[in-house]
Amino acid sequence: MSSNIKPVILCGGSGTRLWPLSRESFPKQFVPLIGGQSLLGLTVGRVKKLGFPVCITNEEHRFFVQDLLTSSLNGATDAGANVLLEPAGRNTAAAMASAALMPGIASSDLLLFLPSDHFVPDVDAFISTMQSGVDAARSGYIVTFGVQPTFPSTAYGYIQQGSCIKDLSASPSASAAYAVERFVEKPQLDKAQEMLLSGNYLWNAGIFLCQASTLLDALSKHAPDILQSCQAAMQVAKVDGSFVRPNKEAFLACRSESIDYAVMEYFDKVAVIPFNGAWSDVGSWNAVANLSPADEAGNRINGQGLAVQSTNTYINAPHRPVVALGTSDLVIVDTPDAVLVASADKVEQVKEVVAQLKKDGASQAVMHRRVARPWGWYDSIDMGERFQVKRIAVKPGASLSLQMHHHRAEHWIVVKGTAKVTNGEDVFLLEENQSTYIPIGAKHRLENPGKTDLEMIEVQSGGYLGEDDIVRFEDTYGRS
């Protein structure tokens, strides 16, 4: 079945409910969470049968998305401008409106909007269900897809399914589309149980299929201010290779609103198609735990965890041994610089804990010890008064900016690969076990001319070692 669907993946969100593994600088959609793959990678792999996707993200995460698209789609480079960079988060209504206004999107195009951080193991069932909404979408409906609930969840919104909409499908085998009676916010447990028993409520998965023109018409009727802000921002958007940047001032003037509140509750042509496959929004540590098999005592282990005389305990320990002795109904998540120990019935409050840590100025609320960069990554492995030690990895062919520091000197020791070093007026190569010294104030650059990763140890010394002590003169990635 040729559906001509254009997937649009919404890659925003900070993912703080999965702290400390997911953090603002590296949220859950990018974290290798399932079988060594990220949720965004799995999402791209799932929708690529429909077509090359558009991704909506921000400046900070643009290279994560670009690299993942390239690797997931076997290096395809003919997709044009397919990464929309929002100047700031303005929720799903603005994101979807901006995507519908992107260069290369025609008014008749079918756009499938979906989150980047959901887990759907049955790809064929997912694709088939999405394609079954084509006829309704071409008939002017906004089609949403509801997941058949398997328990009375209080963590999901719900869709009340109405009567079947006749004459929408040209194919007898296509899934039936139903009218949407109403959308229901996350309920209390007794209400969730009542809705589950009624049999006509579905979990709201936040997935929508419609023509670009249908979405824009709906916004013009029910949220004209959002549409006008996005039109102003996209009319003068700048295209830089695969990146599309809306006008910042116009976009920031847009109010923040979800598509549910802005449009879906008011639009008169909303259809829902049930999805019967397995699905998870991976929205809490309990949801992550449920993706792992349990032992006979209900314990679920990822990595180097060991549960002794314990029941219903989840341990995520990829870096070192973590032992739970005599525990029950606990979630334990270990990272190099922060540890979460939570009662299983309190994991929904992790977001509040992260807000408190951020208020207290704890860097672990936002940043990992290991920080991804477009050229590779660095890991701050030790620090003290007037010194810091980092492991640095640079991808083949990549380079750091030509830069200098006012307050620190650096010693570089190559431990793997070959480094091309600019140190003042000198340019030279360093092999494994060789080193160099970068004085305070010297212009310098690190490059990897080889075909394998370059790894090195950097020892910084000086009176101030903050990341903002960088003066950039040239940068491949457009940073200032």
Which residues, other chains included, contact 464 with Cβ-Cβ below 8 Å and sequence gap of 6+? 406, 407, 408
Q: Which two tokens stand for residue 348?
A: 């929904």
- How much is the pLDDT for 242? 85
- On whether the CB atoms of residues 340 and 20 are closer than 8 A, the answer is yes
Residues facing residue 326 across a β-bridge:
none
Residue 283 in any domain: the answer is: no
- How much is the pLDDT for 189? 92
For residues 334 and 388, membership in a common domain is answered with no
Residues facing residue 365 across a β-bridge:
none
- How much is the pLDDT for 1? 41
For residues 418 and 321, membership in a common domain is answered with no
CATH of the domain at 453: 2.60.120.10
For residues 440 and 309, membership in a common domain is answered with no
- On whether the CB atoms of residues 159 and 273 are closer than 8 A, the answer is no
Rounded Cα gap, residues 35 and 185, in angstroms: 32
Residue 364 in any domain: the answer is: no
Kindly provide the residue ranges of all beta strands, DSSP E only, lying in 116-195, ordered along the sequence.
142-147, 158-164, 178-184
For residues 269 and 350, membership in a common domain is answered with no
pLDDT in tens, 369-386: 888 888 999 999 999 999
Q: Which range of residues forms the domain containing residue 329?
A: 290-359
Residue 260: which region, alpha, beta or left (left: phi > 0; alpha: psi -120 to 50)? alpha
* pLDDT profile of the chain (480 residues), mean per 10: 80 87 91 88 92 91 86 60 90 96 93 95 93 93 94 90 76 73 91 91 95 97 96 94 92 95 93 93 92 95 96 96 98 96 94 95 91 90 93 95 95 97 96 96 96 96 91 80
pLDDT in tens, 108-125: 999 999 999 999 999 999
Q: Which two tokens stand for residue 68?
A: 């993942």
Query: Final residue of a domain: which of 275, 299, 327?
Result: 275
Residue 386, SS3 per DSSP: coil
- How much is the pLDDT for 155? 85
For residues 229 and 320, membership in a common domain is answered with no
Query: Final residue of a domain: which of 359, 382, 413?
Result: 359
- How much is the pLDDT for 14? 75
Which residues, other chains included, contact 36 with Cβ-Cβ below 8 Å and sequence gap of 6+? none
pTM of the model: 0.87
For residues 396 and 345, membership in a common domain is answered with no
Query: Final residue of a domain: which of 334, 359, 384?
Result: 359
Q: In what order do the strands lie in the sheet with 402-404?
A: 426-430, 419-423, 444-447, 402-404, 471-474
Which residues, other chains included, contact 40 with Cβ-Cβ below 8 Å and sequence gap of 6+? 9, 11, 29, 30, 55, 65, 68, 116, 117
Q: Which of 75, 95, 91 is nearest to 9 (CA)?
A: 95
Q: Please count the other Cβ atoms lying within 10 Å of the Cβ belonging to residue 331.
A: 24
Tell me the torsion sign for CA atoms 427, 431, 435, 438: positive
- How much is the pLDDT for 73? 66
Number of folded domains that form the chain = 3
Q: Which of 310, 338, 343, 307 is nearest to 322 (CA)?
A: 307
Q: Please count the other Cβ atoms lying within 10 Å of the Cβ belonging to residue 59.
A: 14
